[in-house]
Structure formats: C-alpha cells, structure tokens
C-alpha cells in the first residue's frame, strides 16, 4: 500500500488489520477521538503515516 494513503473510518477493518487490532478497539479510539484525523464533510480521514507515528509515540 502507498505510504501517504488516507484511511477512512468506514474502512475500520483496514485500520484494524494495519495495526493488528480488533475492530472494537479502533471504533473506541475513533469514538473517543484519540486517533489523529481530519474531518472532511461528515467523514473522518486518517493518514497512515500519522497513525503509525501516533502508535509508536505511545498514543495507543
């Protein structure tokens, strides 16, 4: 996959697979807005690189 690709919360499976987590954990993070993302219209978008950096920094 491309390094700078944006991940959409509607593709929770992709985020969970990328981070090797359960879908429920990803839904919780999104609901609590713990994950860095940007809102575009009604959708939240997450950058793969920023998501990886957040995990590595201990945010997860």
For 2, residues 6+ apart whose C-beta sits below 8 A from its C-beta are 48
| Reported pTM | 0.60
How many angstroms separate the CA atoms of 56 and 39, rounded?
23
Query: Which among 32, 50, 37 has a CA at the least distance from the CA of 8?
Result: 37
Per-residue pLDDT tens digits for 3-33 = 566 665 556 788 888 888 898 888 788 778 7
Domain ranges of the chain: 6-56
Bridge partners (DSSP) of residue 40 are 43
pLDDT at 8: 58
């Amino acid at each position: 996959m491309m390094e700078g690709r944006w991940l959409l919360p509607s593709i929770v499976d992709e985020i969970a697979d990328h981070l090797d987590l359960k879908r429920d954990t990803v839904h919780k993070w999104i609901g609590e807005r713990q994950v860095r993302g940007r809102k575009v219209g009604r959708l939240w978008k997450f950058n793969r690189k920023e998501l990886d950096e957040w995990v590595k920094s201990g945010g997860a």
